[in-house]
Amino acid sequence: MMPSSLPVVRLKPKANARAIRHGFPWIYDNELVTDRRTKGLTPGALAVLEDGERRMMGVVATNPNSRIFCRMLDRDPEAVIDQGWFETKFARALAMRARLYETPYYRLIHAEADGLPGVVVDRFGEVAVVQPNAAWAETLLEPLVAALVAVTGVSCVIKNGSGRARALEGLDEDSAVLVGEAPDAPVPVVMNGATYMADLTGGQKTGLFFDQRPNHGFAAQLCNGARVLDVFSHVGGFSLAALAGGAKQALAVDGSAAALELAEAGAAAAGVAERFATRRGDAFDVLTALGEEGAEFDVVICDPPAFAPSKSALEKGLRAYERVARLAASLVAGGGYLGLCSCSHAADLARFRGASVRGIGRAGRQAQLIHTGFAGPDHPLMPQLAESGYLKSLFFRL
């Protein structure tokens, strides 16, 4: 669609146009002049954004049904959002990942930070899994996918329609194979010497969490000869890395039987199955039970789901993180290590660290904070958008 034919949306005179000019990518509904025409825009429609003095600021994607009314796509108001535009974005993202990783297993597109707001693309060799979590990406999915194939050469593209973000945009949860044929078995992915089995069609999110890769690697350094407990393990993220790092034994705890089966398959593929065990159950219940059993581990790592996915859930989420820290710290042997992680957007590093330290203290333990980790470089942070730096990992010596 040519910019000259796009509708115009305008900032209110008192809206913070400077923040947008300096890179902030979102325009909220209360920052716009809204009338019947703007409210009648189709979710996902493109428009030209003007400031309060009618100066053009760029091409935006709109969704009148979302709190985030506009997402900045291109600061050139004459930009044409077509397959060629997508190819430029993908080529730029691919160039960085190809420099960083020897094998094509990584997050290729990390939403706003890679210039495609609300879009996530994880690559598993010849397969790409796309999460179009914003209405505009769903609307332009055909040229997006065509560009993805043209730039990367992948033979299969899968759309994953699950997730809270799509619901907030008023989108369905349908998933589909868009190009080629989906793998008929989990895909093995080697990271930090461990083998992970990724279910690309039936697993959580896109099938595997690439973001913890550097934190898995750091944790593995602590685990040579250690007894390791990995809670909220999913497909064995920290436990399999620990075994690759020389752990004596590792126990993975998760509520999903399917995830634990994939973890066991990964352990078998890496030849470490005899040192690996799983325990299915609610993480809080299992942590409590292990304490009652007198269990003790040299390294305990907890990587829970987002307990504070929004500001309204922040206080409840912080209490949950504190409880995890308390229960987990009680299981760490003297001189051992405790790793605590959060993927909550709403809980910033300071709040998460505070909740973790309170929990450790409530367990009667003293701690040294030895490392603070974040997502890997295939999950770049957009400096103007704090939400893009969601992952925090704290490692303590108790």
Question: In the numeric block, which tokens belong to residue 297?
Answer: 């581990």
Q: Which residue type sits at 298?
A: D
Residue 105 CA to residue 211 CA, distance in Å, equals 11
Residue 196's closest CA among 248, 139, 122? 122
- Range 350-389 burial, b when 16+ CB lie within 10 A, else e: ebbbebbbbbbeebebebeeebebbbbbbbbbbeebeebb
Beta strand 392-397 with 368-373: parallel, antiparallel or unpaired? antiparallel
Q: Give Cα separations from 304 to 32, 274, 284, 309 (angstroms).
A: 37, 26, 11, 12
- Ordered alpha helix ranges (H), 153-212: 164-168
Q: Phi, psi at residue 157, to the nearest 5°? A: -125, 125
Residue 48 CA to residue 215 CA, distance in Å, equals 41
- Ordered alpha helix ranges (H), the chain: 17-21, 36-39, 83-100, 135-139, 141-152, 164-168, 213-221, 237-244, 257-269, 283-292, 314-329, 349-362
Residue 218 CA to residue 395 CA, distance in Å, equals 9
**Strands of 56-62's sheet, edge to edge?**
8-10, 46-50, 56-62, 68-74, 26-28
Q: Is 343 a catalytic residue?
A: yes
Which of 70, 223, 302, 343 is flagged as catalytic? Answer: 343
**Strands of 249-254's sheet, edge to edge?**
276-280, 249-254, 227-231, 297-302, 332-342, 392-397, 368-373
- Catalytic residue numbers read 343
